Structure 1
Amino acid sequence: MLFTLDTLNTKDKHSTNINGKNDELSKTSLSTSNIFSENHKIFMNKGLSIIGLNIVTLLGKIDELKHLLLNNTIDIVALNETRLNNSITDNIQNINGYDIYRKDRNREGGGVAFFVNNNGGFTHSVRYDLMHNELEMIILEIKKPQNKPILIIAWYRPPNSELKLFEYVEHVLENIECGNREIIMIGDMNCDILSANPTCYTQRINEIAKNFHLKQLISEPTRITKNSRTIIDHIYSSFPEKISTSGVLHTGMSDHSIIYAIIGKEEKIKHNHKFRISRTYKHFDENQFKSDMENVPWHEITIYSNVDDALDDFENKFLTIANLHAPSKKKRVRHKNSPWLTKEVLQLMHERDRTKKRASKEESSQIWDDGPGICL
């Protein structure tokens, strides 16, 4: 679902990242999903999972994002700087099992999007009535059975944008507050709350959080370069006591890291997976198979006057031998993945993510100079 934003033309500070070529994947493949496999307990049996990322051009990262989502149980993904326009259709950005909602600016910068799990045990809808035309923002309403609705706000504030944008955000929050709703606001605010000398923008976002009783959950740097560490990607909650866990996951998919929060501790609804029946030929012996088939009393089929009975007898005789030599097995059908994500590419992605994680922990410029390339 697409709705455009033509009023914002602010150039962004980030350069476009285009990820490389991508083979068939399995859940245990090396990839960006490793950042989650190392923290797999975070996203298992916990409640409503939300992640946010300034992806710095969605079009070049869609296959890596698809691999991440198809191998992890994530309910809501909020993306900033999608850099899309109406020439890029939803079909190009499609991820099986997820609905997409977009608010585009242009291919040069900006834009926000949601990917929402359509099998997560909740209903969802976009609250157009609460959104402001001047903001790169989407407001999503989530309804779980026997629970009050939750509003998830994905907001991207361009760097060096006018202070007036904060007034628009206040208007949005005032309208929401009238309904006494639970709020999660997530995105790249470009306000470094880690800085000892906060800018006027940071002071304004802090003021808004205080006035509307929103607690900021992220305390670890979310954008790390060779020369800087900043917390500009934020998650705000109006009911922080309902957040079971939150934090940062470092990935080389972008120059920003993933931020996340889990609301509640309910058991996740199990997905209805699809399965197919296939045969295994691991121990198949063609000569023995032919020999056993020749010894079947096929002449017995001719005694039936009813053709259906004859067919049933034939199938029973044939399948008895077939199951002995090539037994059938039930196999889960996995989603189709990008065929160009080869094992070698996945290995490089894994090395990239490990390097960024290491760089986030060690303040050493040598890692940036010698690493395999933290952002591809």
Structure 2
Amino acid sequence: MLKVRNYDLDIIVIYRPPHTNKQLFVKELERVIQRVPINRDIIMFGDYNIDILEDKLDHIACSYLNMLSSRGLQCGIQDITREAVSAERRTATSIDHVFVRTESASEVQAYLLTSPLADHYLTGLTAVIGKRMPQNVCKTSLNNKAIEKKLGEQYWNELLNYDDPISLYSRIKTIFCNIYMTQRK
């Protein structure tokens, strides 16, 4: 965990060897992430050896992405992160990942450096941390006495003419919505 002023950030760095059980890895990773409170910021990156290129997704990769998404983590890189040639055949995969969950950082940007330093491209992340993102708050006040008066003035007998319950529900909903909309502050 990184602590900067009053800002906590969990940084998780992962390497999953290519020949280990992917399904077991996804379950273990889920247990780790579940221990981090949902309101805490996370940056997670590393060599996962799970290909997430869109045209190569298998059921384990989909399960992995869905699990991370359900915990509020967003994928920062979905491009090719490794290219190799073996037996005169070129392979391109996206096995180096960056995932971020944050409400406290702004200007978050994951990137790749396609440098020939290694057989994997270098991944990076820039973020302005430690300042809360502005929260837009909208509050609505209702004049309950005026609403009560309008409901009392409504001609409800018209509803007796409806045979279809769906149409009846729709009309009642429209009446209430119209009254509430006119009494908002």
SS at match of 2:120: coil
CA shift at 1:246, angstroms? 1.8
CA shift at 1:243, angstroms? 4.1
CA shift at 1:151, angstroms? 0.5
Describe how 1:113-262 pairs up with structure 2 within 5 A: 141-145=1-5, 147-162=6-21, 163-177=23-37, 180-226=39-85, 227-239=90-102, 242-262=106-126
Give the conservation status (yes or no) of the 8 Å contact 1:220–1:247: no
Q: TM-score, normalised by structure 1?
A: 0.31
- The runs of at least 4 aligned residues of structure 1 exceeding 4 Å deviation read none
Greater share of strand: 2
CA shift at 1:236, angstroms? 0.3
Give the conservation status (yes or no) of the 8 Å contact 2:76–2:109: no
CA shift at 1:232, angstroms? 0.8
CA shift at 1:265, angstroms? 6.8
SS at match of 1:150: strand
Q: State the one-letter code of the partner of 1:207.
A: N
Which stretch has the larger CA shift, 257-266 or 222-231? 257-266
Q: 1:209 to 1:265 in 2, by over 3 A?
A: closer
Which stretch has the larger CA shift, 157-166 or 210-219? 157-166
SS at match of 1:169: helix
Describe how 1:32-181 pairs up with structure 2 within 5 A: 141-145=1-5, 147-162=6-21, 163-177=23-37, 180-181=39-40
CA distance in 1: counterparts of 2:101 and 2:75, whole angstroms: 9
2:133 corresponds in structure 1 to none
Q: 1:219 to 1:243 in 2, by over 3 A?
A: farther
Identity of aligned residues (%): 26
| Structure of greater relative contact order (alpha carbons < 8 Å, 6+ residues apart) | 1
1:288 corresponds in structure 2 to none
Q: State the one-letter code of the partner of 1:176.
A: V
SS at match of 2:78: coil
SS at match of 2:12: strand
CA distance in 1: counterparts of 2:123 and 2:30, whole angstroms: 23
CA deviations on 1:82-133 (whole Å, 9 max, x unpaired) are xxxxxxxxxxxxxxxxxxxxxxxxxxxxxxxxxxxxxxxxxxxxxxxxxxxx
Give the conservation status (yes or no) of the 8 Å contact 1:223–1:232: yes
Q: TM-score, normalised by structure 2?
A: 0.60
CA deviations on 1:324-362 (whole Å, 9 max, x unpaired) are xxxxxxxxxxxxxxxxxxxxxxxxxxxxxxxxxxxxxxx
CA distance in 1: counterparts of 2:116 and 2:19, whole angstroms: 25
- Structure 1: segments with no counterpart, 5+ residues: 1-140, 267-376
C-alpha RMSD of the superposition:
2.1
1:329 corresponds in structure 2 to none
Q: State the one-letter code of the partner of 1:159.
A: P
Describe how 1:304-343 pairs up with structure 2 within 5 A: none
CA shift at 1:175, angstroms? 0.8
1:348 corresponds in structure 2 to none
Greater share of helix: 2
Q: 1:193 to 1:187 in 2, by over 3 A?
A: same
